[in-house]
Amino acid sequence: MMSERPPSAAGNLPLVGIRVVDMTVVWAGTFTTMMLADMGAEVIRVENTRFAPYGTRGIMVRPTDSLLSTRGMATAGYPDRKAGERPYNRAAMFNVHARNKLSMTVDYMRPKGLEILKRLVGISDLFIENNAYGTMNKIGLSYEELKKVKPDIIMVSMPAFGSSGPYSDRIALGRHLECIAGHTLLRGYPEADPTWTTEVYHCDAAAGAVAAFAAMLALHYRQRTGKGQFVDVAQIETIIPQLGEAVMDYTMNGRVQEPIGNRHPSAAPCGLYPCQGDDRWIAITVCSDKEWQALCHAMGDPSWADDGKFSDTLSRWHNQDELDRHIADWTRQRQDYEVMHLLQEAGVAAGPLMDERDCYADPHIRERGFFEQVTHVECGSHLYPGMLWKMSRTPGSIRRPPCRLGEHNEYVYKQLLGVSDEEYAELERDGHIGMEYHPSIVVHGRAAV
C-alpha cells in the first residue's frame, strides 16, 4: 500500500509543484532551501544514516556529557539544554531552517544508493548543495551526471569560493569568508586587536538569500525556454558587495578603510549609549543638522550643545569623544525604550540594543505575528522565526515542523519512487533507510562500517 503524501496545506503558494532535492549543510544552503520550502516547494532533504555532515544537525551527532556540562551554543541549542535520545532531531541550529521540509535517507556513497538518488533527481526540478567544491563530482552527482538523468534539471552549487578560480578547491566556513572579504576587520574597533571582533556568520545568510533568488531566476528561464542550467554561487562574492562603499573607496581613491567601531564615516553623533538598567543601551544616529537640532530639543536644549564644536556635522564628527560623553550623561538617566520613543517622535533614528529575550517580547514584532508556535514531536512546542516576507495573496507559514532524520522515507520511496514493500524492507536491512544515525557516529563524518 502506498504511503500518503505528508500533510502540508501549501495551497496556492507560488512554488507549489516544484520539487527540490536538498543536499545542503550547515547554514547557507539550508537557509536557501528553507525559503523555497516556505513558498510551497516540496523540498526533500537527502540524508545518510551512515554519514553525518559537519555542523548540520547540531555541533555533534551525539554530544558527550562533558560537552553538555559546558555553556554556550553546544548546549543552548537543545530544548532545556538536554540532547535527548536523538540529539540530531533536537538541534536548534538545524531545526530553525528545517521547517516545511521532508527528509529521506539513502547511502548515496554506495552504487545502489546513488542509483536511488538519481531516480529522485529524475522527477525533480532543482538540485541544491553547498558542500566543498568537488564533493558532488566525487560522489557522482556533477551537473553533467545529473543532466543525463534529467536534461532540464537546475543545479545550484554554493561552494565557498565558487566552482572556478585558484581558490575553488579550498574549504571555508562563514567566519573565514568574512575575514577574506574584509567584513570582520571593518566590524572592529580602532586600535583594537581583530580577535576581539565577534563572529556573526553573515556570509551564510547572504549566500543563502542570493542562491534562493538565483534558483528562482533559473526556474523562470526554464519556464520560458525549457532549458535547465548550472548555477554557480560563490559565497565569498555574495558578501563583498555589501561592503560596497569600502570597496569603491579603494578602487576610486586607493584608500583602505579602517575599523571605526559603532561610529559612522560621515554622520555624528552615531553610536551606542548607556541607559538605565543592567547592560541596557540605545543606538542613536544623526545624519543632518536638522536631526541634530531635533536631538538637542529632545534632550532639553542643554547649554553644552551650543558650543561651536558641535555646530555642524563636520565639527561634531571631529569632536565625537566629547560629544558621546555628553549624550551618554543624558541617556543613562533614562530607559532604552523611553529614549527610543522620545527620539523617534522627534525624527531621530534610535533603537534599543536587544537580546533574544527582548526580541521575542518586542510589541512591534509580536503584533506583526513574525514568530510562529511550532510543535515538534521530539522538541515540544516553541516559538520559531516565521516568514521572511509577507505576501497579500500567497502568505506563507510554518506548515510542517522541522523534519526528523528519515521521517518521510515511506512517502519518498513508496509514493514518489514506486518502491514496493518488499524492496523497502530490503533497503532498510541494507542500511539505506532509517531514522537514526549509525551508532558509531558520535561527532560527525562516516560510520565505521
Question: What digits encode the pLDDT tens for the residues 27-51?
Answer: 999 999 999 999 999 999 999 999 9
Which residues fall within 8 angstroms of residue 422, CB to CB, at 6 or more apart? none
pLDDT in the model for residue 6: 66
pLDDT in the model for residue 336: 97
pLDDT in the model for residue 294: 98
Which residues fall within 8 angstroms of residue 112, CB to CB, at 6 or more apart? 427, 430, 432
pLDDT in the model for residue 7: 61
pLDDT in the model for residue 11: 79
pLDDT in the model for residue 2: 33
pLDDT in the model for residue 5: 53
> Which stretches of the chain drop beneath a pLDDT of 50?
1-4
pLDDT in the model for residue 204: 93
C-alpha R_g of the chain:
26
- Residue pair 201/177 in contact (Cβ under 8 Å)? The answer is no
pLDDT in the model for residue 448: 80
Map out the domains of the chain as residue ranges.
19-241+386-446, 270-355
3-state secondary structure the chain: CCCCCCCCCCCCCCCCCCEEEEECCCCHHHHHHHHHHHCCCEEEEEEECCEECCCCCCCCCCCCHHHHCCCCHHHHCCHHHCCCCCHHHCCHHHHCCCCCEEEEECCCCCHHHHHHHHHHHCCCCEEEECCCCCHHHHHCCCHHHHHHHCCCCEEEECCCCCCCCCCCCCCCCHHHHHHHHCHHHHCCCCCCCHHHCCCCCHHHHHHHHHHHHHHHHHHHHHHHHCCCCEEECCHHHHHHHHHHHHHHHHHHHCCCCCCCCCCCCCCCCEEEEECCCCCCEEEEECCCHHHHHHHHHHCCCCHHHHCHHHCCHHHHHHCHHHHHHHHHHHHCCCCHHHHHHHHHHHCCEEEECCCHHHHHHCHHHHHCCCEEEEEECCCEEEEEECCCCCCCCCCCCCCCCCCCCCCCHHHHHHHHCCCCHHHHHHHHHCCCCCCCCCCCCCCCEECCC
Record the pTM: 0.93
pLDDT in the model for residue 200: 81
Arch. (CATH architecture) of 270-355: 2-Layer Sandwich (3.30)
According to DSSP, the β-strands at 19-23 and 371-376 are unpaired
Tell me the average pLDDT of the chain. Answer: 93
Q: Does domain 19-241+386-446 have CATH number 3.40.50.10540?
A: yes
